[in-house]
Structure 1
């Protein structure tokens, strides 16, 4: 992703749960109390970009200022639903950039099982998405609910697949006229 990638910027702005590991004076505005200190053990939701900077420290030094937790969009309840049937989960309501957020969190956490689950979920959802992109009637009828729950990556993939299928149909019609 480039520096100017809007999706990356929006992913970094998503809030993630954090726990402060030490008392920090002057950061009370983060919890709505300007000028106060944030006490050790305080749980807050911070934008991913800020949480990452506060959590990561050089190797061999003291622990970071905060510890990061997985966001609600990657909670046990959501992962169980993805294991059952990823096509039924409305990802957009969980996080508009669900798969980008998952990728960023996997950069910070070593969760092999979560990585495999997100990969398999994306594959299954992409198959369903391609089916709807090639069959416009399905997208307007029974598939409308599925398509409303797509995250931003899936929406881009749907548009590209739909445009590709449309271009192939136009090419075939052109070939038949010759």
Structure 2
């Protein structure tokens, strides 16, 4: 992510909220849930900004070193149903709607998510790359035509 320090697309991708599950109790941070609870309880699902989730997912739990503070869940824009539809045909999936649900840039959000994923999901990597390739090849002629 450091290679695109001034990239607005990268800033939007890092600012999106992604679903996570806290593996430990976090005192005094209940406001992140948007409830009146003072603390975040263990195994609480919550959506937090990507930049914060990426930091916390790398921190070891002091009580159980085999477990991190939180586990990042796959956002809806990258769930199994979407991946199956994209692997069948990229032209039948409205990436504009998916981009709106994933912080403004579906490709950037997907690549950022893969960078911090606890399990390097090669299927998801392949789908994001093939979608970029297929849609990019269909957009190139239109972009050249409009540029004249």
Alignment length (residue pairs)? 137
Give the SS at the match of 1:43: strand
CA distance, structure 1, for counterparts of residue 14 and residue 36 of structure 2: 24
Give the SS at the match of 2:35: coil
CA distance, structure 2, for counterparts of residue 32 and residue 118 of structure 1: 32
Q: Which of 74, 83, 95 lines up with 1:70 in the alignment?
A: 74
- Gaps spanning 5+ residues in structure 1: where? 136-161, 167-178
| Residue number in structure 2 paired with 1:47 | 49
Higher relative contact order, structure no. (Cα contacts within 8 Å, ≥ 6 residues apart): 2
Q: Summarize deviations over 1:138-170 as a string: whole Å, max 9, x none.
A: xxxxxxxxxxxxxxxxxxxxxxxx42xx2xxxx
How far residue 99 of structure 1 moved from its aligned partner, in angstroms, is 0.5
Please say if 1:2 is aligned against 2:10.
no
Normalised to the residue count of structure 1, the TM-score between the two structures is 0.70
Please say if 1:98 is aligned against 2:106.
yes
Distance verdict in 2 for CA 1:5–1:130, change over 3 Å: closer
Select the structure of larger CA radius of gyration. 1
- Gaps spanning 5+ residues in structure 2: where? none
How far residue 108 of structure 1 moved from its aligned partner, in angstroms, is 1.7
Structure number with higher helix proportion: 1
Give the SS at the match of 2:4: coil
- Whether contact under 8 Å (2:33, 2:47) holds in the other structure is no
